[in-house]
């Protein structure tokens, strides 16, 4: 760990604390804040002594060494303690971006502090920086504000104003820089940018994009919006026209040196005590009245793994350090900003800090990036590095924005071709097949074609074609954002489509196998036979509603994320297994009956086609099971394979059950006697179904 660990134990001189509860606190601080935390430590121990609280605070400060200043190093330290449920430290100071990440390990301060105490702080800060699951897990001890430092001496020398837009800043820098070079001032820099390799670079990117809002009340621009593109182009323009890669990549130390020396026209940095040659203001925007300035809070939270005695003592410290008096006495006087905005209406406060600046950036804005499934530190690092590919490596801006967007975006099929045209292609095939199925239903009732469809009752032909269509409709659930409802609908389409497409086949094979009581009953009660299976499938799907699907996020590093339907409950898995078992029973029954009826004249030709159809169904179901259980990290491949598999099942059943009879051309007109028998059979409503079936085979032989 790249820390210089400084153990600072502050005790009041000549005071012996007996039987006191010692609470341990941990913080990370840059050099300029170490004195502040020492001051707070001493102040609390003095307060505890004067009020007989019997509490002693022991503070450990972690400070960066010469080069490593990454916020996520401290985040890793907190991870270490919380993952072990450690009670070594009772109080943690932490950056506000970690409220969601570490919120589960902090006490809900709303249960320990008075409501009016929490309501002293700015509502935007509390809402965006201190909450976890709508509970207050931390309160801001200080807030940091990024401001523009303008060299008043140079501005007055050349009669220039503090810029309010980025264009004004560029023009002013060019003018003053050119004039100063003529005076041999070659050490002057125009603007630091602060787009370094540290976490400060993340803030700088966010702020400049933030400065392209419509107003200070507008939301942060979307990653793939034109405003973001314009902002990134402005970053590059600033670097190329008034700065350089070297200056942009410089760390905080160089900026602090320029703040002390006064040898810069403009600087961007957090507010702190500075050379009076500089005048501070809000960061510019793309237009006047809009600023990109954001605030960063440094919060305090209480470890929920501490014992009750230390929790109570820690609450006293949090109440003390976030009180109005302490914020005014120690935070403001040390030239830091407080989250209690009403302080900036007090005259004595405004004599110490520039109240106009902090008022000008209200309402406050904080960094609010959706890091999705990623760890926040990992996401911020990738966010910065992807944008730097454009800023420093001249990668295409569209490619860079897509990389950033892809980290939290979940892809699905779409009829739009923005991401891929595969969704449109699959949908076109769907409508072609749908139209084919619908027209086929009409052909069944064409009088001249009825002879081809005597093999099954007309309503069962309708069921078979409808089943293939319903199964195919599951493809529609691939479009749009995946929801639990779509997962349920997909299974309904699968299960009912499968049953309806194959039950007519099972029915005809059963009634032609043996003339026994079962076959007779099924023949006479085919709708009851159908209802039994439909009822089972309906019941299984209703039970699945009790055990809903989980939407699983498939995260593809440096790729396109997508989502899958999965069911993890024991009940749900058993229901799916039972449904699969029912499908297997139907297919096995069909195969057995095909084997038994291979040479029966009534089903002689039909069984030949059914073998092909059944084999295709088995192959389709096996593939479906495989591709739903193997890792596929490409959403286009995943949905394309599933769509092809679904089409294969639906189309093969349609062709080999219905299509082959449609395209066959029996010469029944050559035999008038057979033609008359066919016509008479159509007119007779009471003729037996088996007689019609035999007649159909006899006609086909002619």
> Are the CB atoms for 478 and 643 separated by under 8 Å?
yes
Q: What share of the chain has pLDDT > 90, as a percent? A: 50
The values of phi and psi at residue 53, to 5°, are: -85, -15
Whether cis (ω within 30° of 0) applies to the bond prior to 363 is: yes
Mean pLDDT of 33-55: 90
pLDDT reported for residue 673 = 37
Q: How many residues are recorded in the chain? A: 702
The values of phi and psi at residue 363, to 5°, are: -70, 145
pLDDT reported for residue 536 = 94
* Same CATH fold assignment for domains 3-141+296-327 and 422-664: no
- Please give the angle made by the CA atoms of 487, 642 and 591, to the nearest 5 degrees: 100
Q: How far apart are CA 205 and CA 292, in angstroms?
A: 10
Q: Is the pLDDT of residue 127 over 70?
A: yes
CATH code for 3-141+296-327? 3.40.190.10
Count the helices and strands in the chain (H runs, E runs).
28, 13
**Which stretches of 368-525 are DSSP H helices?**
376-391, 397-408, 422-443, 458-472, 484-513, 517-524
C-alpha closest to that of 264 among 146, 151, 160, 175: 151
Mean pLDDT of 121-127: 91
pLDDT confidence band for 605 (50 / 70 / 90): low
Q: Is the pLDDT of residue 680 over 60?
A: no
Pairing mode, strands 562-566 and 550-554: antiparallel
> Are the CB atoms for 536 and 528 separated by under 8 Å?
no
- Pairwise pLDDT comparison (225 vs 683), residue with the higher score: 225
Question: Where are the domains positioned within the chain?
Answer: 3-141+296-327, 422-664, 666-702
> Are the CB atoms for 203 and 196 separated by under 8 Å?
no
Q: How far apart are CA 130 and CA 145, in angstroms?
A: 17
Q: How far apart are CA 509 and CA 519, in angstroms?
A: 9
Q: Is the pLDDT of residue 277 over 50?
A: yes
Per-residue pLDDT tens for 500-511?
988 888 888 888
Mean pLDDT of 109-136: 93
Model pTM score: 0.77
pLDDT confidence band for 452 (50 / 70 / 90): low
- Pairwise pLDDT comparison (527 vs 362), residue with the higher score: 527
- Pairwise pLDDT comparison (702 vs 70), residue with the higher score: 70
- Please give the angle made by the CA atoms of 103, 105 and 109, to the nearest 5 degrees: 65
Which residue's entry shows tokens 């507010």?
A: 271
Per-residue pLDDT tens for 639-675?
999 999 999 999 888 887 777 776 665 543 334 334 4
Q: How far apart are CA 631 and CA 153, in angstroms?
A: 63
CATH code for 422-664? 1.20.1070
User: Would residue 272 be called left, alpha or beta, if left means φ above 0 and alpha means ψ between -120 and 50 degrees?
Assistant: beta
What is the enclosing helix (H) or strand (E) of 91? strand 91-95
Mean pLDDT of 627-642: 87
Mean pLDDT of 526-552: 91
Per-residue pLDDT tens for 338-389?
999 999 999 889 888 888 888 888 888 888 888 887 888 889 999 999 999 9
Q: How far apart are CA 256 and CA 191, in angstroms?
A: 13
C-alpha closest to that of 551 among 570, 564, 538: 564
Which 3 state secondary structure label does DSSP give 539? helix
Per-residue pLDDT tens for 413-434?
988 877 788 999 999 999 999 9
For residue 134, count other CB atoms closer than 10 A to its CB.
8
> Are the CB atoms for 397 and 224 separated by under 8 Å?
no
Which of 62-76, 372-386, 448-462 is predicted most confidently? Answer: 372-386
Q: Is the pLDDT of residue 33 over 90?
A: no
Mean pLDDT of 178-207: 92
> Are the CB atoms for 505 and 590 separated by under 8 Å?
yes
For residue 445, count other CB atoms closer than 10 A to its CB.
12
Q: How far apart are CA 626 and CA 465, in angstroms?
A: 26
pLDDT confidence band for 2 (50 / 70 / 90): very low
pLDDT reported for residue 698 = 39
pLDDT confidence band for 68 (50 / 70 / 90): very low
Q: How far apart are CA 465 and CA 442, in angstroms?
A: 11
User: Is the Cα torsion angle 118, 119, 122, 128 positive or negative in sign?
Assistant: positive
Average pLDDT of the chain is: 85
Q: How far apart are CA 77 and CA 5, in angstroms?
A: 12
Mean pLDDT of 228-255: 94
Rg of the chain over Cα atoms, rounded to whole angstroms, equals 37
Q: How far apart are CA 279 and CA 545, in angstroms?
A: 64
pLDDT confidence band for 69 (50 / 70 / 90): very low
Burial of 303 (0-12, 13-18, 19+ CB in 10 A): buried
Which 3 state secondary structure label does DSSP give 606? helix
pLDDT confidence band for 8 (50 / 70 / 90): very low
Q: Is the pLDDT of residue 678 over 60?
A: no
């Amino acid at each position: 760990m790249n820390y210089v660990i400084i153990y600072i134990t502050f005790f009041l001189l000549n005071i012996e604390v007996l039987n006191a509860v010692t609470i341990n606190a941990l913080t990370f601080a840059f050099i300029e804040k170490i004195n502040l935390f020492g001051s707070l430590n001493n102040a609390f121990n003095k307060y505890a002594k004067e009020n007989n609280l019997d509490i002693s605070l022991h503070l450990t400060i972690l400070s960066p060494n010469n080069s490593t200043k990454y916020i996520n190093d401290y985040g890793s330290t907190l991870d270490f303690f919380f993952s072990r449920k450690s009670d070594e430290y009772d109080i943690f100071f932490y950056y506000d971006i970690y409220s969601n990440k570490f919120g589960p390990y902090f006490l809900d301060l709303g249960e320990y502090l008075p409501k009016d105490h929490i309501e002293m702080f700015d509502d935007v800060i509390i809402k965006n920086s201190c909450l976890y699951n709508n509970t207050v897990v931390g309160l801001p001890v200080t807030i940091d504000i990024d401001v523009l430092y303008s060299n008043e001496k140079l501005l007055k020398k050349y009669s220039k104003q503090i810029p309010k837009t980025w264009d004004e800043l560029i023009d002013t820098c060019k003018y003053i820089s050119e004039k100063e070079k003529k005076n041999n001032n070659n050490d002057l820099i125009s603007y630091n940018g602060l787009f370094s390799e540290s976490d400060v670079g993340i803030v700088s990117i966010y702020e400049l994009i933030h400065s392209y809002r419509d107003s200070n009340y507008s939301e942060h621009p979307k990653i793939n919006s034109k405003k973001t593109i314009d902002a990134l182009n402005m970053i590059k323009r600033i670097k190329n026209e008034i700065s350089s890669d070297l200056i942009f990549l410089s760390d905080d130390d160089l900026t602090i040196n320029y703040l002390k020396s006064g040898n810069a026209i403009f600087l961007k940095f957090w507010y702190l005590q500075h050379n009076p040659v500089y005048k501070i203001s809000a960061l510019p925007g793309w237009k006047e009245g809009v600023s990109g300035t954001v605030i960063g809070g440094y919060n305090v939270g209480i470890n929920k793994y501490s014992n009750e005695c230390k929790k109570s003592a820690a609450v006293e410290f949090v109440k003390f350090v976030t009180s109005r008096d302490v914020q005014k006495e120690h935070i403001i006087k040390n030239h830091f900003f407080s989250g209690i905005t009403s302080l900036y209406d007090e005259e004595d406060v405004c004599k110490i800090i520039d109240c106009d600046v902090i008022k000008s950036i209200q309402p406050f804005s904080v960094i609010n990036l959706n890091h999705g499934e990623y760890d926040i530190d990992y996401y911020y690092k990738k966010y910065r590095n992807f944008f730097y590919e454009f800023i420093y490596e001249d990668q295409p801006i569209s490619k860079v924005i897509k990389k950033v967007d892809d980290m939290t975006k979940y892809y699905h099929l779409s009829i739009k071709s923005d991401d891929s045209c595969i969704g449109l292609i699959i949908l076109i095939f769907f409508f072609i097949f749908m139209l084919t199925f619908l027209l086929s239903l009409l052909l069944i009732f064409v009088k001249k074609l009825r002879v081809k469809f005597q093999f099954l009752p007309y309503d069962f032909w309708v069921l078979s074609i409808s089943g293939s269509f319903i199964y195919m409709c599951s493809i529609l659930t691939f479009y749009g954002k995946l929801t639990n409802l779509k997962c349920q609908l997909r299974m309904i389409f699968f299960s009912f489509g499968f049953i309806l497409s194959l039950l007519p086949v099972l029915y005809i094979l059963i009634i032609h196998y043996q003339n026994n009581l079962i076959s007779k009953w099924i023949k006479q009660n085919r709708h009851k036979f159908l209802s039994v299976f439909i009822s089972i499938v309906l019941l299984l799907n209703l039970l699945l509603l009790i055990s809903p699907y989980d939407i699983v996020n498939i995260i593809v590093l440096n790729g396109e994320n997508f989502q899958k339907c999965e069911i993890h409950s024991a009940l749900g898995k058993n229901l799916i297994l039972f449904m699969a078992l029912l499908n297997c029973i139907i297919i096995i029954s069909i195969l057995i009956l095909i084997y038994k009826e291979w040479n029966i004249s009534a089903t002689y030709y039909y069984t030949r086609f059914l073998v092909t159809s059944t084999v295709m169904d088995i192959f389709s179901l096996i593939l479906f099971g495989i591709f739903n259980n193997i890792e596929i990290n490409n959403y286009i491949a995943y949905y394309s394979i599933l769509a092809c598999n679904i089409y294969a099942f639906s189309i093969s059943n349609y062709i080999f059950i219905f299509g082959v009879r449609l395209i066959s051309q029996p010469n029944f007109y050559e035999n008038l006697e057979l033609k008359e028998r066919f016509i008479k059979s159509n007119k007779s409503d009471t003729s037996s179904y088996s007689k019609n079936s035999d007649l159909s085979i006899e006609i086909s032989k002619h």
